[in-house]
Amino acid sequence: MPKTTAAKITASLEKGQISPVYLLTGEDLFRKQEIIQKITAAVQPDDFNIYSSSADKADIGEVLALASTAPVFSPRRIVVLTGIEKLRKEPKEALLRYLENPLNTTVLVLTHNDAKKFKTEKALAAAAAEHGESANFDELKHEELLRWVSARFQAQGINAQFDAAETLCEVVGADLHALSQEIEKLALYAADRTDKNISKEDVLACIGFAKEENPFALSNAIQYMDKKRALSLADKLLDNGEDPVGVLGKIAYPVLKMARIKRMADAGMAPAEITRAAGLMFWETSLINNVRRFPPETVFLKTLDRIIETDKSFKTSAVSDPKTAIKGVIMTLFSGR
């Protein structure tokens, strides 16, 4: 199946060209869901001709029987099966047999959310090749994310300056759902402007933070193991009068998240499984790729113990120098580096 792109699938759908099989791979769930919505809109199914389920909850026999059945008083039926990387051997073999001769009046949409595992799924890709389309949705990296944000602004009729798009990504992160919501808010924010321009200051003002402030900077520095920046940001927050307990919270949350990711990765769990089990947002999958830079579990345990002790000392006024206490927590995390 020749690889295509979301844009090409969209263009084909707009021309009324609908394939009987779509295989959507990669770990960016947001963009996959958008394409599924576009395919569904093109099929225009009624309640009798639409089915959607995750593979781990579905009876694959019933799903394929439905896919093999002509639609009811409608040109097409759509069947969406997500997370097919979870299918066991026999259900997967049944799916492969269906893909050898799919029903033309059924649109079968499959998502595979484990990029590493998909490399071994050659039979699946080959079985769908003759009749369908395949598009990969890897997590967007920095430059790709900026292009996606810029295109999203343009679609809203907004002229976003480069530093506005960059600031939005820095503050919100790579969570495409959250970014999309903020872009919609900014479109309303600029609705009365003749030029429809959005600046960095507009982004910060609309999101609700003061100029030059980034509420996630310290947590990001911790998560991406940037010791120098983490120490500098902690100093700055405390010098600006932020409550030490609040600063400690900006450190504790990412440390707990990193410790969970580290334990799961060490246990051999796949990225998609870690994303779900750790309760990560879509954009946070980059942390899983960064796990090799994380300290060992023993360091995480020492850091968490120190966080608990420091929190207790803050709440009982037993610490005379909050800045030193906060730096002690950060240095514990980065010990040995």
Helix, strand and coil percent figures for the chain, each rounded to 5: 60, 10, 30
The answer, yes or no, to whether residue 214 has pLDDT greater than 80, is no
Residue 202: predicted pLDDT: 87
Which residues in the chain are classed under CATH 3.40.50.300? Answer: 3-136
The answer to which of 61-65, 122-126, 287-291 has the lowest mean pLDDT is 287-291
CB 162, CB 197: distance < 8 Å: no
Asked if pLDDT for residue 211 goes beyond 70, the answer is no
pLDDT one-digit tens code per residue, 156-172: 999 888 888 888 887 77
Give pLDDT, residue 337: 59
Residues with Cβ within 8 Å of 92's Cβ and at least 6 positions away in sequence, in order, are 84, 124
The share of the chain scoring above pLDDT 70, in percent, equals 94
Domain ranges in the chain with CATH number 1.20.272.10: 217-333
Could you give the residue range(s) of every CATH 1.10.8.60 domain in the chain? Answer: 142-207
CA atoms within 13 A on the CB side of 60: 19
CA distance linking residue 112 with residue 225, whole number of Å: 30
- The pLDDT of residue 1: 44
Domain 142-207 matching CATH 1.10.40.30: the answer reads no
Rounded average pLDDT over 114-140: 86
pLDDT at 193: 86
Residue 188's contacts (CB-CB under 8 Å, 6 or more residues apart) are none
Least confident of 15-24, 152-161, 201-210, 262-271: 201-210
Taking 70 as the threshold, does the pLDDT of residue 51 lie above it?
Answer: yes
For residue 246, pLDDT over 90 is answered with no
Taking only the tens place, the pLDDT of each residue in 301-331 is 999 999 999 998 888 877 778 889 999 999 9
Per-residue pLDDT tens digits for 147-203: 999 999 999 999 888 888 888 887 777 778 888 888 998 988 888 888 889 988 888
The CATH class of the 217-333 domain is mainly alpha
pTM metric for this prediction: 0.61
* From the candidate CATH numbers 3.40.50.300, 3.40.980.10, 3.40.440.10, 3.40.50.150, the one assigned to the domain spanning 3-136: 3.40.50.300
- Is 311 exposed, middle or buried (CB count within 10 Å of its CB: 0-12, 13-18, 19+)? middle
Long-range contacts of 38-41 (CB under 8 A, 24+ apart): 38/9, 38/10, 38/13, 39/9, 39/13, 39/78, 39/107, 39/109, 40/78, 40/80, 41/13
